[in-house]
Each structure stands twice: as C-alpha cells, then as structure tokens.
Copies of this chain bind each other. A is one copy, B any other.
C-alpha cells in the first residue's frame, strides 16, 4: 500500500515516521528459469515487505533491485543473460550507505527482507560495519523470507515434491507459487519446466561451466506450483517476520 512506501512519502511524512520500523527489501535481477521474470526476487521481497508493513505500519524503502553474484551452482552465475550481478564490495558499500542514512535520519528499528540467497553475507558485513559506525544505536535485523516459515507449511507445500533445500529452491515451487500469487501476470504458466531432480556438487568451482546447472535455469521442479501455495507461503513468511519484529523491536 502506497502509504507505506518511503518513495511515495514527502520528507515531512518520512520525518514523522522515524519511530516506525524501516523495511529494506533486497532482491536481485537474476535468471529464474523459463517461466519467471528476472525481477522475481525483488517482486517477492517487496510483496512480503509490504504485507508486513501493513500489519505494523512500517515504512518500506525502495528495494535494492540488483544483488550479489549468484553462485555458479545455484543461479548459474554469469552464464545466463539477464543476470546482472554486483560484486561483493559494491553490495556491501551500497547496503552500508543506505542503512547508515536510514539510521542517521533517526530510525532505530531496521528490518532487511532478503529474497536472494547469495545476498546474505554481504548484507551481514554491511550490518556489522554500520553497527560499529553508529555505535550500536539501532537494531538491524536481516531475514530471508524463507527463514521464518513454519515447518508444517514446508511439508504442505512440498507434498508432491521432495524439498531440495533453500539453496536449490530457485525458480522452483516456492518462488513460482509466490509469483503466481503476488504477480500472476508475470508468470509464463505454459513455460513452467518439469525439472528432474538436480544435485549440484557441494563444493564451489571456477571456471563456471554452462553445464553446471540445468539448461532451463531452474534448479528444482516447479510443476506443482499454485497461487494458493504462494498465498500460504507469503502469509506464513509475513507472520514469521511479525514474530521477529515483536521479539526484537518492542
């Protein structure tokens, strides 16, 4: 809802909101298979951030729409056109600058909703550097949308598939379902791939090779996706994040 978006507020409205929770969605522009758009992570992150914001009257800052390099064995790295990756230093500096300015404006409760697996580490480094610079004067939380999901929900969503772990849930049933719920027009339903179980090596290797992940770009089966599953996931994520906010920001 517009009323929660910082970029739609005037500076005076923002000034009067510094007691609220500031939410920063961090996504990516990355290939997500033949059926999901490049902005999938950002769309999901913003959707969940806004759902949280409506519940607790928070302020959602413009999403970081470009993220850290996707891992070679996860998103496929630079081999898929359309994946626009930032280097680690850039992501760290970018998040550090944004967090620093939000805190300098007076916010003391900051929630980062991350939706791109690889972003976690550079975001964490930025958090630590900002915490040091601002002498521990604000509480900053980073959560992935998938972290606070109820285990029961995961069982339900994966009733027809084996849960491959979050690192492999790329363009697969959870992201596809979330997109069918949050941005149905952006999903090419006729192009949802049936991916055979794919087990990447546990190690990391360079050079990255075209054959490192399935040619479609998805890493696990998305065939059993549905908007209904997406709604359940989004609501569970939102509820989980609300619990974190209650625990850390009150």
A positions within 8 Å CB-CB of B: 2, 5-12, 14-15, 18, 29, 31-39, 42-43, 61-63, 65-66, 69, 71, 77-78, 80-90, 92-94, 96-98, 101-102, 104-106, 118, 120-125, 127-131, 136, 139-144, 147-148, 185-186, 188, 191, 201-208, 217, 244, 248
Copy tally for this chain in the complex stands at 6
Q: A62-B29, A89-B89, A148-B202 are in contact. Are A37 and B7 (CB under 8 A)?
A: yes
- In the bound assembly, the distance between CA atoms of A131 and B31 in angstroms comes to 22
Residues of B within 8 A of A185 (CB): 2
Interface of A is mostly: mixed
Q: A93-B93, A244-B203 are in contact. Are A186 and B8 (CB under 8 A)?
A: yes
Q: A61-B29, A89-B93, A143-B203 are in contact. Are A83 and B37 (CB under 8 A)?
A: no
Is B62 a contact partner of A78 (Cβ separation < 8 A)?
A: no
Question: Within the complex, which residue of B62, B139, B202 is in contact with A205, where a contact is CB–CB below 8 Å?
Answer: B139
Q: A65-B65, A69-B128 are in contact. Are A82 and B11 (CB under 8 A)?
A: yes
